[in-house]
Amino acid sequence: MKNHPDRKSNRLKNYDYSQDGYYFVTICTQNREHFFGEIRNAEMQLNEYGKIAKKCWLEIPNHFPNILLDEFIIMPNHVHGILIIENNLIENTNNVGNKNFCSLPWQTKFSKSLSSVIRGFKIGVTKYYREKTVRNNNHCSLSKKIWQKSFYDHIIRNEESLFQIREYIQNNSLKWELEQDRNHVSNIDF
C-alpha cells in the first residue's frame, strides 16, 4: 500500500500487526452515516445492511484462519470488535485470505495482518451492499462510500484491559442511547 503524505497512519509505528495478540478495532462509516440500523431501548436493531455487516464479521475466520473472534457489536455508524491473531492456526490450511470476500483472482498469498483482515471485511460488506443495490435497481447508490478510510485499533496488552474493552462493547448500545458514545452524532464535530 502506498503511503499518502496527507494521511496520518493510525497504526503504532514499528509494530508488527501480524503477530499473535488481541486487538480492539473500531471501523466507522463514511461521515458517520447511520448505515446499519438504530438503537431502540438500548438494543441495536440491525437493518438489512447491519445484518450484512454482522454476517461478514462472523465469516472473518473462514477467510482468515489465523483470526478468532471475541466480543463485537455492529452499531448504527460503526463496528467495534476484538480480533485475536493466532498464527499457529494457519499451519494446515489452504485458505488464501480475503479471496472470497472480494474478487481478486491474482491473490494467492495469505496475508496475516490486522489491516488485511479489516480491508477484507470492508470489501465484503461493500460487495454485498452493491449487489443488493443493483438488485433493487437503485444504481445511484452504487457510488456511495460506506466506510471512512482506515480504522482505529488498540493493542490489548493484559487481562484487565481485555475485560474493560469487552464491557465497553457490551454496554455500547446503552451508552449510545444516553448519547455517551463518542461516535454518536451529538458528540461529533463536523
Q: Using CA atoms, how far apart are residues 96 and 55, in angstroms rounded to an integer?
A: 19
Q: Is 7 a residue whose pLDDT tops 60?
A: no
Return the C-alpha cell found at 143.
457510488
Q: Using CA atoms, how far apart are residues 22 and 83, in angstroms rounded to an integer?
A: 6
Q: Is 77 a residue whose pLDDT tops 60?
A: yes
In this prediction, residue 4 has a pLDDT band, given cuts at 50, 70 and 90, of: very low
In which order are the strands placed within the sheet that holds 67-74? Answer: 67-74, 78-85, 21-28, 152-156
Mean pLDDT computed over every residue of the chain: 81
Return the C-alpha cell found at 172.
455500547
- Would you state the pLDDT for residue 1? 38
- Would you state the pLDDT for residue 147? 95
- Would you state the pLDDT for residue 169? 95
- Would you state the pLDDT for residue 187? 56
Q: Using CA atoms, how far apart are residues 103 and 98, in angstroms rounded to an integer?
A: 9
Q: Which residue spans within the chain are E strands per DSSP?
A: 21-28, 37-40, 43-46, 67-74, 78-85, 152-156
**Ranges of each domain in the chain:** 21-178
Q: Is 166 a residue whose pLDDT tops 50?
A: yes
21-178 is classed in which CATH architecture? Answer: 2-Layer Sandwich (3.30)
| Closest residue by Cα to residue 73 from 46, 47, 92, 48 | 46
Return the C-alpha cell found at 128.
454485498
3-state secondary structure of 107: coil
Return the C-alpha cell found at 188.
461529533
- Would you state the pLDDT for residue 96? 46
- Would you state the pLDDT for residue 105? 37
Rounded percentage of the chain residues whose pLDDT exceeds 90: 54
Q: Is 171 a residue whose pLDDT tops 80?
A: yes
- Would you state the pLDDT for residue 108? 42
Per-residue pLDDT tens digits for 108-153: 455 789 999 999 999 999 998 888 777 776 665 656 789 999 999 9
Q: Is 184 a residue whose pLDDT tops 80?
A: no
Q: Is 91 a residue whose pLDDT tops 80?
A: no
Q: Using CA atoms, how far apart are residues 6 and 16, in angstroms rounded to an integer?
A: 23
